[in-house]
Protein backbone atom coordinates (compact mmCIF):
# COMPACT_ATOMS: atom_id res chain seq x y z
CA UNK A 1 0.00 0.00 0.00
CA UNK A 2 2.90 2.41 0.60
CA UNK A 3 3.71 2.38 -3.10
CA UNK A 4 0.42 4.12 -3.82
CA UNK A 5 1.52 7.16 -1.86
CA UNK A 6 4.39 7.95 -4.22
CA UNK A 7 2.18 8.37 -7.29
CA UNK A 8 0.03 11.49 -7.59
CA UNK A 9 -3.41 11.52 -9.16
CA UNK A 10 -2.25 13.62 -12.12
CA UNK A 11 0.60 11.23 -12.88
CA UNK A 12 -1.75 8.26 -12.93
CA UNK A 13 -4.17 10.02 -15.28
CA UNK A 14 -1.33 11.02 -17.57
CA UNK A 15 -0.17 7.41 -17.71
CA UNK A 16 -3.68 6.25 -18.61
CA UNK A 17 -4.04 9.00 -21.25
CA UNK A 18 -0.82 7.84 -22.83
CA UNK A 19 -2.23 4.37 -23.57
CA UNK A 20 -5.81 5.42 -24.45
CA UNK A 21 -7.15 6.96 -27.63
CA UNK A 22 -9.17 9.45 -25.58
CA UNK A 23 -8.61 10.94 -22.07
CA UNK A 24 -10.50 9.03 -19.39
CA UNK A 25 -10.61 11.64 -16.61
CA UNK A 26 -13.42 13.73 -18.12
CA UNK A 27 -15.45 11.97 -20.87
CA UNK A 28 -18.32 11.05 -18.56
CA UNK A 29 -19.27 14.66 -17.76
CA UNK A 30 -18.66 16.31 -21.13
CA UNK A 31 -19.69 13.90 -23.86
CA UNK A 32 -20.56 10.27 -23.19
CA UNK A 33 -20.22 9.40 -26.87
CA UNK A 34 -16.46 9.93 -26.72
CA UNK A 35 -16.09 6.98 -24.39
CA UNK A 36 -15.79 3.99 -26.72
CA UNK A 37 -14.85 0.76 -24.98
CA UNK A 38 -13.90 -0.91 -28.26
CA UNK A 39 -11.01 1.46 -29.07
CA UNK A 40 -9.32 1.64 -25.66
CA UNK A 41 -6.28 -0.61 -25.32
CA UNK A 42 -7.12 -1.99 -21.87
CA UNK A 43 -4.47 -4.67 -22.02
CA UNK A 44 -1.68 -2.13 -22.49
CA UNK A 45 -3.03 0.01 -19.64
CA UNK A 46 -3.31 -2.86 -17.16
CA UNK A 47 0.06 -4.32 -18.12
CA UNK A 48 1.71 -0.93 -17.61
CA UNK A 49 0.04 -0.35 -14.24
CA UNK A 50 1.03 -3.81 -13.03
CA UNK A 51 4.60 -3.07 -14.08
CA UNK A 52 4.60 0.10 -11.94
CA UNK A 53 3.61 -1.77 -8.76
CA UNK A 54 5.81 -4.76 -7.82
CA UNK A 55 4.81 -7.56 -5.44
CA UNK A 56 1.34 -7.82 -7.09
CA UNK A 57 -0.03 -4.83 -5.18
CA UNK A 58 -1.88 -3.35 -8.14
CA UNK A 59 -3.69 -6.51 -9.33
CA UNK A 60 -4.90 -7.35 -5.85
CA UNK A 61 -6.10 -3.83 -5.11
CA UNK A 62 -7.86 -3.40 -8.43
CA UNK A 63 -9.49 -6.82 -8.17
CA UNK A 64 -10.82 -6.16 -4.66
CA UNK A 65 -12.17 -2.73 -5.58
CA UNK A 66 -13.81 -4.04 -8.77
CA UNK A 67 -15.45 -6.91 -6.94
CA UNK A 68 -16.75 -4.66 -4.16
CA UNK A 69 -18.20 -2.12 -6.59
CA UNK A 70 -20.05 -4.79 -8.55
CA UNK A 71 -21.26 -6.44 -5.39
CA UNK A 72 -22.53 -3.23 -3.82
CA UNK A 73 -24.27 -2.18 -7.05
CA UNK A 74 -26.43 -5.32 -6.97
CA UNK A 75 -29.57 -3.53 -5.59
CA UNK A 76 -29.58 -1.26 -8.61
CA UNK A 77 -29.87 -4.27 -10.92
CA UNK A 78 -31.87 -6.80 -8.93
CA UNK A 79 -33.34 -4.91 -5.95
CA UNK A 80 -31.87 -7.49 -3.56
CA UNK A 81 -28.54 -8.72 -2.25
CA UNK A 82 -26.17 -11.16 -3.89
CA UNK A 83 -25.98 -14.02 -1.44
CA UNK A 84 -23.86 -16.55 -3.26
CA UNK A 85 -20.53 -16.38 -5.10
CA UNK A 86 -21.94 -18.12 -8.17
CA UNK A 87 -24.33 -15.20 -8.67
CA UNK A 88 -21.38 -12.80 -8.66
CA UNK A 89 -19.60 -14.91 -11.26
CA UNK A 90 -22.72 -15.11 -13.39
CA UNK A 91 -23.20 -11.34 -13.32
CA UNK A 92 -19.57 -10.69 -14.24
CA UNK A 93 -19.77 -13.13 -17.15
CA UNK A 94 -22.60 -11.07 -18.63
CA UNK A 95 -20.22 -8.13 -18.91
CA UNK A 96 -18.55 -8.85 -22.24
CA UNK A 97 -17.67 -6.53 -25.07
CA UNK A 98 -20.75 -7.34 -27.14
CA UNK A 99 -23.30 -6.51 -24.40
CA UNK A 100 -21.39 -3.75 -22.63
CA UNK A 101 -23.35 -0.69 -23.84
CA UNK A 102 -26.79 -2.26 -23.33
CA UNK A 103 -25.82 -3.59 -19.90
CA UNK A 104 -24.43 -0.27 -18.65
CA UNK A 105 -27.51 1.57 -19.86
CA UNK A 106 -29.73 -0.74 -17.79
CA UNK A 107 -27.52 -0.21 -14.74
CA UNK A 108 -27.73 3.57 -15.19
CA UNK A 109 -31.53 3.51 -15.44
CA UNK A 110 -31.86 1.46 -12.26
CA UNK A 111 -29.36 3.70 -10.46
CA UNK A 112 -31.30 6.82 -11.49
CA UNK A 113 -34.55 5.34 -10.21
CA UNK A 114 -32.82 4.42 -6.93
CA UNK A 115 -31.55 7.98 -6.57
CA UNK A 116 -35.10 9.31 -6.86
CA UNK A 117 -36.13 7.02 -4.02
CA UNK A 118 -33.20 7.47 -1.64
CA UNK A 119 -32.25 11.14 -2.22
CA UNK A 120 -28.66 10.43 -3.15
CA UNK A 121 -26.47 13.34 -4.22
CA UNK A 122 -26.11 14.07 -7.92
CA UNK A 123 -22.36 14.40 -7.42
CA UNK A 124 -22.18 10.92 -5.96
CA UNK A 125 -24.41 9.45 -8.64
CA UNK A 126 -22.43 11.13 -11.38
CA UNK A 127 -19.28 9.58 -10.06
CA UNK A 128 -20.97 6.20 -9.54
CA UNK A 129 -22.01 6.13 -13.19
CA UNK A 130 -18.50 7.05 -14.32
CA UNK A 131 -16.93 4.56 -11.91
CA UNK A 132 -19.16 1.70 -13.05
CA UNK A 133 -18.50 2.37 -16.73
CA UNK A 134 -14.75 2.54 -16.17
CA UNK A 135 -14.71 -0.61 -14.05
CA UNK A 136 -16.92 -2.46 -16.54
CA UNK A 137 -14.45 -1.88 -19.35
CA UNK A 138 -11.54 -2.97 -17.17
CA UNK A 139 -13.42 -6.08 -16.08
CA UNK A 140 -13.01 -7.47 -19.60
CA UNK A 141 -9.31 -7.78 -18.72
CA UNK A 142 -9.64 -8.53 -14.98
CA UNK A 143 -12.71 -10.78 -15.00
CA UNK A 144 -11.01 -13.76 -13.38
CA UNK A 145 -9.38 -11.61 -10.70
CA UNK A 146 -12.76 -9.99 -9.97
CA UNK A 147 -14.40 -13.38 -9.53
CA UNK A 148 -11.71 -14.52 -7.12
CA UNK A 149 -11.89 -11.31 -5.12
CA UNK A 150 -15.71 -11.40 -5.01
CA UNK A 151 -15.57 -14.99 -3.79
CA UNK A 152 -13.15 -13.94 -1.04
CA UNK A 153 -15.39 -11.04 -0.01
CA UNK A 154 -18.55 -13.14 0.14
CA UNK A 155 -16.87 -15.64 2.43
CA UNK A 156 -16.30 -12.95 5.07
CA UNK A 157 -19.24 -10.57 4.64
CA UNK A 158 -22.64 -11.61 5.99
CA UNK A 159 -24.68 -9.90 3.31
CA UNK A 160 -27.96 -10.63 4.98
CA UNK A 161 -26.96 -8.45 7.96
CA UNK A 162 -25.73 -5.43 5.98
CA UNK A 163 -27.81 -2.29 5.62
CA UNK A 164 -29.22 -1.32 2.25
CA UNK A 165 -26.41 -1.66 -0.26
CA UNK A 166 -27.22 1.62 -1.97
CA UNK A 167 -26.15 3.53 1.17
CA UNK A 168 -22.94 1.56 1.45
CA UNK A 169 -22.27 2.21 -2.22
CA UNK A 170 -22.74 5.93 -1.58
CA UNK A 171 -20.21 5.88 1.25
CA UNK A 172 -17.69 3.91 -0.77
CA UNK A 173 -17.81 6.15 -3.82
CA UNK A 174 -18.00 9.36 -1.79
CA UNK A 175 -14.72 8.51 -0.11
CA UNK A 176 -13.13 7.62 -3.45
CA UNK A 177 -14.47 10.82 -5.04
CA UNK A 178 -12.91 13.02 -2.37
CA UNK A 179 -9.62 11.12 -2.63
CA UNK A 180 -9.37 11.54 -6.39
CA UNK A 181 -9.67 15.30 -6.03
CA UNK A 182 -6.47 15.26 -3.99
CA UNK A 183 -4.15 12.35 -4.67
CA UNK A 184 -3.88 8.59 -4.32
CA UNK A 185 -3.07 8.84 -0.65
CA UNK A 186 -6.82 9.14 -0.08
CA UNK A 187 -7.40 5.92 -2.00
CA UNK A 188 -5.02 4.12 0.34
CA UNK A 189 -7.10 5.34 3.29
CA UNK A 190 -10.23 4.09 1.55
CA UNK A 191 -8.69 0.63 1.17
CA UNK A 192 -7.73 0.68 4.83
CA UNK A 193 -11.32 1.58 5.75
CA UNK A 194 -12.69 -1.26 3.63
CA UNK A 195 -10.22 -3.82 4.98
CA UNK A 196 -12.32 -4.69 8.10
CA UNK A 197 -15.19 -5.73 5.81
CA UNK A 198 -13.03 -8.52 4.44
CA UNK A 199 -12.46 -10.10 7.86
CA UNK A 200 -15.27 -8.88 10.10
CA UNK A 201 -18.97 -8.38 9.32
CA UNK A 202 -19.77 -6.44 12.51
CA UNK A 203 -22.40 -3.72 12.10
CA UNK A 204 -20.26 -1.30 14.11
CA UNK A 205 -17.59 -1.33 11.42
CA UNK A 206 -20.19 -0.65 8.77
CA UNK A 207 -21.74 2.19 10.75
CA UNK A 208 -18.38 3.88 11.40
CA UNK A 209 -17.46 3.57 7.75
CA UNK A 210 -20.71 5.20 6.64
CA UNK A 211 -20.48 8.07 9.12
CA UNK A 212 -16.86 8.78 8.19
CA UNK A 213 -17.53 8.61 4.45
CA UNK A 214 -20.62 10.80 4.76
CA UNK A 215 -18.66 13.46 6.67
CA UNK A 216 -16.00 13.46 3.96
CA UNK A 217 -18.56 13.74 1.21
CA UNK A 218 -20.47 16.61 2.81
CA UNK A 219 -17.42 18.85 2.32
CA UNK A 220 -18.47 19.00 -1.34
CA UNK A 221 -20.87 21.72 -2.45
CA UNK A 222 -23.02 19.63 -4.81
CA UNK A 223 -26.50 18.87 -3.51
CA UNK A 224 -29.79 18.03 -5.25
CA UNK A 225 -31.89 21.12 -5.81
CA UNK A 226 -34.38 20.30 -8.57
CA UNK A 227 -35.49 17.70 -11.07
CA UNK A 228 -32.91 19.05 -13.53
CA UNK A 229 -30.23 17.35 -11.43
CA UNK A 230 -31.67 14.01 -12.43
CA UNK A 231 -31.68 15.09 -16.04
CA UNK A 232 -27.92 15.70 -15.86
CA UNK A 233 -27.38 12.14 -14.71
CA UNK A 234 -29.63 10.83 -17.49
CA UNK A 235 -27.57 12.69 -20.08
CA UNK A 236 -24.30 11.43 -18.64
CA UNK A 237 -25.52 7.83 -18.57
CA UNK A 238 -26.97 7.99 -22.11
CA UNK A 239 -30.62 7.58 -21.05
CA UNK A 240 -33.13 8.88 -23.60
CA UNK A 241 -35.74 11.51 -22.78
CA UNK A 242 -38.70 9.11 -23.05
CA UNK A 243 -37.06 6.63 -20.68
CA UNK A 244 -36.23 9.46 -18.29
CA UNK A 245 -39.91 10.55 -18.21
CA UNK A 246 -41.01 6.96 -17.56
CA UNK A 247 -38.66 6.79 -14.58
CA UNK A 248 -40.12 9.97 -13.12
CA UNK A 249 -43.64 8.63 -13.62
CA UNK A 250 -42.86 5.27 -12.02
CA UNK A 251 -41.52 6.90 -8.84
CA UNK A 252 -44.61 9.10 -8.32
CA UNK A 253 -44.89 12.91 -8.61
CA UNK A 254 -46.03 13.60 -5.04
CA UNK A 255 -43.33 11.42 -3.53
CA UNK A 256 -40.73 13.19 -5.66
CA UNK A 257 -41.92 16.63 -4.54
CA UNK A 258 -41.82 15.63 -0.89
CA UNK A 259 -38.33 14.18 -1.30
CA UNK A 260 -37.00 17.32 -2.96
CA UNK A 261 -38.48 19.46 -0.18
CA UNK A 262 -36.73 17.35 2.43
CA UNK A 263 -33.48 17.59 0.48
CA UNK A 264 -33.66 21.40 0.40
CA UNK A 265 -34.20 21.55 4.15
CA UNK A 266 -31.34 19.14 4.76
CA UNK A 267 -28.98 21.27 2.68
CA UNK A 268 -29.47 24.19 5.13
CA UNK A 269 -28.31 22.24 8.14
CA UNK A 270 -24.87 22.65 9.60
CA UNK A 271 -22.37 19.97 8.83
CA UNK A 272 -22.23 18.60 12.39
CA UNK A 273 -26.03 18.43 12.76
CA UNK A 274 -26.42 16.77 9.40
CA UNK A 275 -23.80 14.14 10.20
CA UNK A 276 -25.49 13.41 13.51
CA UNK A 277 -28.89 13.07 11.86
CA UNK A 278 -27.47 10.88 9.11
CA UNK A 279 -25.86 8.57 11.67
CA UNK A 280 -29.15 8.25 13.56
CA UNK A 281 -30.98 7.38 10.36
CA UNK A 282 -28.45 4.71 9.53
CA UNK A 283 -28.58 3.20 13.00
CA UNK A 284 -32.38 3.16 12.90
CA UNK A 285 -32.34 1.61 9.47
CA UNK A 286 -29.88 -1.07 10.56
CA UNK A 287 -31.95 -1.97 13.61
CA UNK A 288 -35.22 -2.03 11.66
CA UNK A 289 -33.81 -4.13 8.84
CA UNK A 290 -32.22 -6.64 11.22
CA UNK A 291 -35.38 -6.87 13.35
CA UNK A 292 -37.66 -7.40 10.35
CA UNK A 293 -35.38 -10.03 8.92
CA UNK A 294 -35.15 -11.85 12.26
CA UNK A 295 -38.94 -11.87 12.67
CA UNK A 296 -39.50 -13.12 9.13
CA UNK A 297 -36.99 -15.94 9.46
CA UNK A 298 -38.44 -16.94 12.84
CA UNK A 299 -41.96 -17.18 11.43
CA UNK A 300 -40.82 -19.28 8.47
CA UNK A 301 -38.81 -21.60 10.73
CA UNK A 302 -41.75 -22.03 13.10
CA UNK A 303 -44.11 -22.95 10.26
CA UNK A 304 -41.66 -25.52 8.91
CA UNK A 305 -41.10 -27.12 12.33
CA UNK A 306 -44.84 -27.24 13.00
CA UNK A 307 -45.50 -28.90 9.64
CA UNK A 308 -42.83 -31.55 10.27
CA UNK A 309 -44.18 -32.35 13.74
CA UNK A 310 -47.77 -32.60 12.52
CA UNK A 311 -46.92 -34.87 9.60
CA UNK A 312 -44.69 -37.12 11.70
CA UNK A 313 -46.84 -37.65 14.79
CA UNK A 314 -50.32 -37.47 13.29
CA UNK A 315 -52.16 -40.74 13.92
CA UNK A 316 -53.70 -42.35 10.90
CA UNK A 317 -57.15 -43.92 11.26
CA UNK A 318 -57.46 -47.52 10.02
CA UNK A 319 -60.80 -49.13 9.16
CA UNK A 320 -60.98 -52.86 9.90
CA UNK A 321 -63.54 -55.18 8.25
CA UNK A 322 -65.51 -57.70 10.25
CA UNK A 323 -65.53 -61.39 9.39
CA UNK A 324 -69.06 -61.20 7.98
CA UNK A 325 -68.09 -58.28 5.71
CA UNK A 326 -65.08 -60.16 4.37
CA UNK A 327 -67.18 -63.26 3.61
CA UNK A 328 -69.84 -61.17 1.85
CA UNK A 329 -67.23 -59.44 -0.32
CA UNK A 330 -65.66 -62.79 -1.26
CA UNK A 331 -69.05 -64.28 -2.12
CA UNK A 332 -69.99 -61.31 -4.32
CA UNK A 333 -66.70 -61.34 -6.21
CA UNK A 334 -66.92 -62.73 -9.75
CA UNK A 335 -63.61 -63.12 -11.56
CA UNK A 336 -63.27 -62.17 -15.18
CA UNK A 337 -62.38 -64.98 -17.64
CA UNK A 338 -58.69 -65.35 -18.46
CA UNK A 339 -59.42 -65.19 -22.19
CA UNK A 340 -62.55 -64.00 -24.01
CA UNK A 341 -64.86 -66.49 -25.66
CA UNK A 342 -63.90 -67.37 -29.23
CA UNK A 343 -66.66 -67.88 -31.81
CA UNK A 344 -66.75 -71.29 -33.47
CA UNK A 345 -66.61 -69.77 -36.95
CA UNK A 346 -63.32 -67.98 -36.25
CA UNK A 347 -60.79 -68.42 -39.08
CA UNK A 348 -58.05 -69.55 -36.69
CA UNK A 349 -60.10 -72.65 -35.82
CA UNK A 350 -60.32 -73.75 -39.46
CA UNK A 351 -57.80 -76.37 -40.63
CA UNK A 352 -56.03 -75.66 -43.94
CA UNK A 353 -54.39 -78.43 -45.99
CA UNK A 354 -52.56 -79.13 -49.27
CA UNK A 355 -53.68 -81.77 -51.74
CA UNK A 356 -51.08 -83.44 -53.97
CA UNK A 357 -47.33 -83.02 -54.25
CA UNK A 358 -45.42 -79.73 -54.30
CA UNK A 359 -44.78 -78.38 -57.81
CA UNK A 360 -45.26 -75.21 -59.82
CA UNK A 361 -48.93 -75.30 -58.94
CA UNK A 362 -50.41 -76.54 -55.64
CA UNK A 363 -53.93 -77.34 -54.45
CA UNK A 364 -54.74 -75.47 -51.23
CA UNK A 365 -58.15 -75.98 -49.58
CA UNK A 366 -59.45 -77.37 -52.87
CA UNK A 367 -58.22 -74.42 -54.99
CA UNK A 368 -55.24 -74.32 -57.37
CA UNK A 369 -52.54 -71.66 -56.73
CA UNK A 370 -49.21 -70.69 -58.34
CA UNK A 371 -46.49 -71.75 -55.90
CA UNK A 372 -44.07 -68.86 -55.22
CA UNK A 373 -42.96 -70.05 -51.76
CA UNK A 374 -40.31 -72.59 -52.78
CA UNK A 375 -36.74 -72.30 -54.07
CA UNK A 376 -37.65 -74.22 -57.23
CA UNK A 377 -35.93 -71.60 -59.38
CA UNK A 378 -35.12 -74.01 -62.27
CA UNK A 379 -38.48 -75.79 -62.19
CA UNK A 380 -36.98 -79.25 -61.72
CA UNK A 381 -39.74 -80.40 -59.36
CA UNK A 382 -42.03 -82.67 -61.35
CA UNK A 383 -39.47 -83.42 -64.05
CA UNK A 384 -39.70 -87.17 -64.95
CA UNK A 385 -35.95 -87.62 -65.38
CA UNK A 386 -35.22 -86.09 -62.00
CA UNK A 387 -37.93 -88.19 -60.36
CA UNK A 388 -36.46 -91.38 -61.89
CA UNK A 389 -32.95 -90.64 -60.61
CA UNK A 390 -34.35 -89.70 -57.21
CA UNK A 391 -36.18 -93.04 -56.92
CA UNK A 392 -32.99 -94.97 -57.69
CA UNK A 393 -31.01 -92.92 -55.12
CA UNK A 394 -33.67 -93.55 -52.46
CA UNK A 395 -33.63 -97.27 -53.22
CA UNK A 396 -29.83 -97.37 -52.71
CA UNK A 397 -29.14 -94.75 -49.99
CA UNK A 398 -32.52 -94.25 -48.34
CA UNK A 399 -34.28 -90.90 -47.89
CA UNK A 400 -31.16 -89.22 -46.44
CA UNK A 401 -28.30 -89.52 -44.01
CA UNK A 402 -29.99 -87.06 -41.59
CA UNK A 403 -26.69 -85.83 -40.21
CA UNK A 404 -23.98 -83.19 -40.69
CA UNK A 405 -21.47 -83.74 -43.48
CA UNK A 406 -18.48 -83.72 -41.14
CA UNK A 407 -19.91 -86.50 -38.93
CA UNK A 408 -21.99 -89.21 -40.56
CA UNK A 409 -23.74 -87.24 -43.31
CA UNK A 410 -21.21 -87.72 -46.15
CA UNK A 411 -21.70 -90.59 -48.61
CA UNK A 412 -19.76 -91.54 -51.74
CA UNK A 413 -22.20 -89.91 -54.10
CA UNK A 414 -21.59 -86.52 -52.40
CA UNK A 415 -17.87 -86.70 -53.09
CA UNK A 416 -18.42 -87.90 -56.66
CA UNK A 417 -20.80 -85.03 -57.39
CA UNK A 418 -18.44 -82.44 -55.88
CA UNK A 419 -15.57 -83.75 -58.08
CA UNK A 420 -17.72 -83.65 -61.22
CA UNK A 421 -18.82 -80.07 -60.47
CA UNK A 422 -15.23 -78.96 -59.79
CA UNK A 423 -14.04 -80.52 -63.08
CA UNK A 424 -16.89 -78.92 -64.97
CA UNK A 425 -16.18 -75.46 -63.52
CA UNK A 426 -12.42 -75.86 -63.82
CA UNK A 427 -11.74 -75.10 -60.14
CA UNK A 428 -9.79 -76.88 -57.46
CA UNK A 429 -12.74 -78.05 -55.32
CA UNK A 430 -16.50 -77.60 -54.97
CA UNK A 431 -18.79 -77.64 -51.94
CA UNK A 432 -22.17 -79.35 -52.00
CA UNK A 433 -25.06 -78.06 -49.84
CA UNK A 434 -28.25 -79.90 -49.03
CA UNK A 435 -30.51 -77.17 -50.44
CA UNK A 436 -30.16 -73.75 -52.04
CA UNK A 437 -31.36 -71.54 -49.18
CA UNK A 438 -28.45 -72.31 -46.87
CA UNK A 439 -25.92 -72.01 -49.70
CA UNK A 440 -25.91 -68.23 -50.04
CA UNK A 441 -26.75 -67.58 -46.38
CA UNK A 442 -23.59 -69.43 -45.28
CA UNK A 443 -21.24 -68.41 -48.08
CA UNK A 444 -21.55 -64.65 -47.40
CA UNK A 445 -20.47 -64.81 -43.70
CA UNK A 446 -17.62 -67.14 -44.74
CA UNK A 447 -16.02 -64.30 -46.72
CA UNK A 448 -17.24 -61.06 -45.08
CA UNK A 449 -16.45 -60.27 -41.44
CA UNK A 450 -17.34 -57.60 -38.89
CA UNK A 451 -14.79 -55.04 -40.10
CA UNK A 452 -15.86 -55.26 -43.77
CA UNK A 453 -18.36 -53.25 -45.83
CA UNK A 454 -20.97 -54.83 -48.12
CA UNK A 455 -22.84 -52.85 -50.78
CA UNK A 456 -26.07 -54.79 -51.38
CA UNK A 457 -29.04 -54.40 -53.70
CA UNK A 458 -32.30 -53.71 -51.85
CA UNK A 459 -34.03 -56.33 -54.04
CA UNK A 460 -32.03 -59.40 -52.98
CA UNK A 461 -34.02 -62.38 -51.70
CA UNK A 462 -34.53 -63.43 -48.11
CA UNK A 463 -31.71 -66.00 -48.12
CA UNK A 464 -29.18 -63.33 -49.13
CA UNK A 465 -30.55 -60.96 -46.48
CA UNK A 466 -30.02 -63.61 -43.80
CA UNK A 467 -26.46 -64.15 -45.02
CA UNK A 468 -25.75 -60.41 -44.86
CA UNK A 469 -27.14 -60.28 -41.33
CA UNK A 470 -25.01 -63.25 -40.23
CA UNK A 471 -21.82 -61.61 -41.55
CA UNK A 472 -22.13 -58.72 -38.99
CA UNK A 473 -20.54 -56.44 -41.61
CA UNK A 474 -21.62 -52.85 -42.23
CA UNK A 475 -24.32 -53.02 -44.91
CA UNK A 476 -24.83 -50.14 -47.36
CA UNK A 477 -28.08 -50.61 -49.32
CA UNK A 478 -28.48 -49.10 -52.79
CA UNK A 479 -31.70 -48.84 -54.80
CA UNK A 480 -32.71 -51.87 -56.86
CA UNK A 481 -30.75 -52.05 -60.14
CA UNK A 482 -29.65 -48.40 -59.68
CA UNK A 483 -26.01 -48.12 -60.70
CA UNK A 484 -25.95 -44.37 -59.95
CA UNK A 485 -26.97 -44.96 -56.34
CA UNK A 486 -24.25 -47.60 -56.02
CA UNK A 487 -21.70 -45.14 -57.43
CA UNK A 488 -22.77 -42.56 -54.83
CA UNK A 489 -22.17 -45.03 -51.98
CA UNK A 490 -18.80 -46.01 -53.40
CA UNK A 491 -17.73 -42.35 -53.60
CA UNK A 492 -18.77 -41.78 -49.98
CA UNK A 493 -16.77 -44.84 -48.93
CA UNK A 494 -13.74 -43.55 -50.84
CA UNK A 495 -13.99 -40.20 -49.06
CA UNK A 496 -14.29 -42.01 -45.72
CA UNK A 497 -11.19 -44.05 -46.55
CA UNK A 498 -9.22 -40.86 -47.25
CA UNK A 499 -10.17 -39.42 -43.87
CA UNK A 500 -9.33 -42.61 -41.97
CA UNK A 501 -6.53 -44.37 -43.88
CA UNK A 502 -5.57 -46.61 -40.97
CA UNK A 503 -9.09 -48.03 -40.74
CA UNK A 504 -9.37 -48.29 -44.54
CA UNK A 505 -6.31 -50.54 -44.70
CA UNK A 506 -8.14 -53.15 -42.59
CA UNK A 507 -11.52 -52.89 -44.33
CA UNK A 508 -12.57 -55.12 -47.23
CA UNK A 509 -15.39 -54.13 -49.57
CA UNK A 510 -17.95 -56.43 -51.25
CA UNK A 511 -20.80 -55.86 -53.69
CA UNK A 512 -23.76 -58.28 -53.50
CA UNK A 513 -26.28 -58.33 -56.36
CA UNK A 514 -28.71 -60.92 -57.71
CA UNK A 515 -29.04 -62.21 -61.26
CA UNK A 516 -32.71 -62.21 -62.28
CA UNK A 517 -32.17 -63.62 -65.76
CB of 130 closer than 8 Å to CB of 35 = no
Q: What angle, rounded to 10 degrees, do the helices at 165-180 and 185-199 form?
A: 150
* Domain spans, the chain: 2-271, 435-517
Length of the chain: 517
At 360-370, the pLDDT tens digits run 888 888 899 98
Percent of the chain past pLDDT 70, that is, above it, reads 40
**What's CA 294's distance to the chain center, in Å?**
37
At 57-82, the pLDDT tens digits run 334 444 444 444 444 444 444 433 33
Query: Is residue 372 over pLDDT 90?
Result: no
Q: What is the pLDDT of residue 376?
A: 78
Query: Is residue 421 over pLDDT 90?
Result: yes
Q: Structure pTM?
A: 0.33
At 272-325, the pLDDT tens digits run 454 455 445 545 544 554 556 667 777 777 777 777 777 776 666 667 888 888
Query: Is residue 422 over pLDDT 90?
Result: yes
Q: What mean pLDDT is predicted for residues 351-372?
A: 85
CA dist 216 and 442 (Å) reads 97
Strands, E, within 29-105: which ranges?
none
Alpha-carbon dihedral of residues 449, 454, 459, 460, nearest 10 degrees?
Answer: -30
Q: What class has domain 435-517?
A: alpha beta
Q: What is the pLDDT of residue 356?
A: 81
At 458-502, the pLDDT tens digits run 999 889 999 999 999 999 999 999 999 999 999 999 999 999 999
**What's CA 83's distance to the chain center, in Å?**
23
Exposed, middle or buried by CB within 10 Å (0-12, 13-18, 19+), for 266? middle
At 195-252, the pLDDT tens digits run 444 334 443 444 454 445 444 444 443 333 344 445 544 554 455 666 666 655 554 4
Q: Mark 425-434 as b/e (b = at least 16 C-beta within 10 Å).
A: eeeeeeeeee
Amino acid sequence: MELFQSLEDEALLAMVDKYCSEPVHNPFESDSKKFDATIINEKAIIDKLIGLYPSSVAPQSVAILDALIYKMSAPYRHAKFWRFTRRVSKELNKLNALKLNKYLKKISKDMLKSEMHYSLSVCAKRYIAAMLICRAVRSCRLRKLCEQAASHCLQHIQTGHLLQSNLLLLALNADIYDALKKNLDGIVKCYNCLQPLLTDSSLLHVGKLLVMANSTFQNSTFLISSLNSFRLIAEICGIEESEYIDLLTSTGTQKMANRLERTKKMSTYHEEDYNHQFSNRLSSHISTSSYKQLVTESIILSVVIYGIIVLKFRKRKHTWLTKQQKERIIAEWKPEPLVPEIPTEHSALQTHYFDGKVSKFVTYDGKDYLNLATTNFLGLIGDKTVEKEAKEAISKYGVGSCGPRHFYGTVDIHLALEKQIADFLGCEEAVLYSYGFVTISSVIPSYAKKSDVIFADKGVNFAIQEGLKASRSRIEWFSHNDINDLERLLMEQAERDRKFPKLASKTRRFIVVKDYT
